[in-house]
């Protein structure tokens, strides 16, 4: 039955609709959907681990399967991205979380071992330093994955990060004004839905909600759309960066 609903030529909207069906109680589709997207799950996991992933030997694969199921039940088209784009972000995060936990566990074991031998205190410091370096790399990996996901989202609007950087307001008050406009779009169902469906800023509708010149909005259009996407999506690190940039 699933093959009639979903095949290799299925577009993103049909896949999104199928995910909505599962969320609505049609759980019989879930296992088949997961099985069909095993190549996607393995490929996404391999990108994070930077090696071949075995479905029988690697714990990361099991983590990724659980993450894909989690994505099925947490996905919301209101955020603007496709299901596979969202699932990719969830899988990458969960696998990175697992890697971090494993590294922390190994570090703890190393610490317990070396503490019993006072002559190896230098090794303790080395372990600490190694863990801190690894933790920093994982944090950077999180940010990188969010940026990749953001780039994928922006491409649907015909926007590049380079363009956003060029258009970014230089003054704090201007950035704060653009942030308020982005929040206005998010909090208004019609504005938000038009942005997501039409992939453009609903200028006419927006002008009825704010007291800023149309010329100013047009000049900052790409920046506003980017802010809106960042606020709608589950971008932990980009949101933290956004706070620093706006303030």
For the chain, the structural domain boundaries read 2-155, 161-246
Polymer length in residues for the chain? 247
How far apart are the C-alpha atoms of 49 and 145, rounded to whole Å? 13
Contact 93, 64 (CB under 8 A): no
pLDDT, tens digit, 9 for 90 and up, residues 73-112:
999 887 777 899 889 989 988 998 888 788 766 655 555 5
How far apart are the C-alpha atoms of 152 and 22, rounded to whole Å? 25
How many other CB atoms are found less than 10 A from the CB of residue 26? 12
4-13, 110-119, 197-206: the lowest-pLDDT one: 110-119
Contact 34, 68 (CB under 8 A): yes
188: Cβ–Cβ under 8 A, 6 or more apart, which residues?
205, 209
144 pLDDT tier (thresholds 50, 70, 90): confident
- Phi and psi, residue 224, nearest 5°: -65, -45
pLDDT, tens digit, 9 for 90 and up, residues 155-210:
989 999 999 988 888 888 999 999 999 999 999 999 999 999 899 999 999 999 99
């Amino acid at each position: 039955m699933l093959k009639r609903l979903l095949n290799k030529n299925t577009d993103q909207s049909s896949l999104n609709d199928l995910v909505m069906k599962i969320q609505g109680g049609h759980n019989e589709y879930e296992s088949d959907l997961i099985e069909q997207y095993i190549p996607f799950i393995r490929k996404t996991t391999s990108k994070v681990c930077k090696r071949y992933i075995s479905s029988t030997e690697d714990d990361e694969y099991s983590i990724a399967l659980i993450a894909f199921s989690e994505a099925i039940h947490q996905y919301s088209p209101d955020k603007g991205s496709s299901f596979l784009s969202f699932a990719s972000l969830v899988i990458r995060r969960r696998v990175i979380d697992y890697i971090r936990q494993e590294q922390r566990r190994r570090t703890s074991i190393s610490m317990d071992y070396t503490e019993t031998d006072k002559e190896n205190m230098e090794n303790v410091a080395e372990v600490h330093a190694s863990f801190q370096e690894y933790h920093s790399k994982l944090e950077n990996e999180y940010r990188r994955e969010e940026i990749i996901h953001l780039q994928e989202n922006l491409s649907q609007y015909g926007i590049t990060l380079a363009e956003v950087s060029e258009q970014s307001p230089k003054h704090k008050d201007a950035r704060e004004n653009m942030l308020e406009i982005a929040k206005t779009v998010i909090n208004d169902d019609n504005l938000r839905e038009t942005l997501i469906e039409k992939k453009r800023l609903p200028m006419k509708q927006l002008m009825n909600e704010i007291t800023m010149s149309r010329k100013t909005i047009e000049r900052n259009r790409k920046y506003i759309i980017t802010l809106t996407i960042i606020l709608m999506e589950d971008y932990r690190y980009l949101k933290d960066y956004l706070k620093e940039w706006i303030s």
